Structure 1
């Protein structure tokens, strides 16, 4: 399978640079053209946007750690735990060369993460190209009645437009099966951020009467987006390209036809039990597991039947905490011996 970077590969490359090197802003701006010109696989549109918006690229690189952390949180107890590969060409190694359910999740979450990061940077005044949502002006109405737009509404639509223009550029040119899959999952990720926009309000009036409300639209915590996409991962639909090459049909007759919010994938996942560079599997050797759990974090499932090693370690925790007037809580350090179980490696 040929390595064919896309917009997401670019963001991952930026993340590697940002997360593993101490890059100051002056270097970033001066070096942005050189960096953009030397990233393999970008189409002209992507290179042009990369050179024109160094601050946007910096914001995305800095924010990348947030959605990577969210991915690892969502899969912390599974054989595939969204593990990264350090300074590789992209943070997930050869995993992204596949068209599996896990890749569908990575693309959707990263697309959502780009939108969330850009919209947040706009609201904080960190970018010259955007600020608060300029369409939220005047008065409006919700179930509680009239309110005035105020504060700073997150400009999600701007972030969605930039993300779609940049991230989807290569897939828009290629339009093969994998490109269609990535386009679908990128879009599902962007929609997930918009799904959890909330209206936040502040009351004004005598004695808190709330005779006047000032409201703004804000993104929910990114955890809600992560939880939503994790549920979509559980219900992801295996698909095949239709006869016209323009969309998908379910790969099996008893599967539902995917809608625009579903995640889709083309090929089955490996079992992730053993280290396999070709499939991007890091294996489960050395992973922590629960001896008593019958779920995916249990030693039988996590260790793929290979067995596990047990060691006793000492853990320190706060105990016998007491409140002292005024105003402090003082605790003692307690020690406990616990058994830790780790999967045996493949032999």
Structure 2
């Protein structure tokens, strides 16, 4: 009972015990009624005093008491710590099923497309160089045969009068292979969920992985880029010889007459068409530019990945990570935070030709860890490190 209540009680008791001369002459029944009324008034005053004291301790009337509402906005990212732990555990489980005698490449659609396009660029450079070398030899014999005092005229190679070969035209459009864009949509954890799992696997079994799909692919390994540039230079050498043959044909056509003049002029036109096609292909490679806009530079990156992953199995994986954070606010018990994580994972292990080796689907849900925001209910292991880091 508060001090105000005690004062009121003592005052009323003293008042009731004081002698009143006028009341002593009144009947006993009236005195008892007056005493009961005074006692009732005293009890009412005491009750009001106690109520006022209690209200003074409570919040203002406009502040409604909390009823244990659930709020996840304040600590929405905290639950991702539990999902992160699950990713590390699942990576160890997937690593355990990978064969130890063969490397494995994590499949990424954009990387796989880039590897195929890079091989096509390199193959086109080789084919064009070989094709131009063969045609230059054939054209040299033709020019020699039509040079005065060098021998009998040689039959016109009709292939030169046709349009450039199909392989040359296709090679000129190889840059289009690098204009496509493959978008991977992340869910739950975000765009980095799959990258997180790939890094977790690399941490668990780095010796078994030939590559993580996307990411760094060897931009600084200039030996492969120099090799491709060497092929471009070789193609340029054959192109220079072809240009010399075109000039020689022009001089021969200028000194010839009749049908021979028309034949040599037609041959010169065909050679110059080939020159334009070769120039268009070389220009499309953007060999002098070291950026993603240069198919030659991009091809050098993906060729390195193709060499490292030769003979490897292909692991196609998808993962969804979600964290749940629940904050319970109560006026009398305070705040409590519970953290839980959910992970869904499927994977398929393939041979390079597409044959399925193994597949599985896994899911994990962690038991909620309760954290008292005013103290430490979770163990030190939860705060210090994730599983496997200790």
Larger RCO, structure (CA 8 Å, separation 6 or more): 2
More strand, by proportion: 1
More helix, by proportion: 2
Confirm or deny a common fold (TM above 0.5): no
Q: TM-score, normalised by structure 2?
A: 0.18
Q: TM-score, normalised by structure 1?
A: 0.20
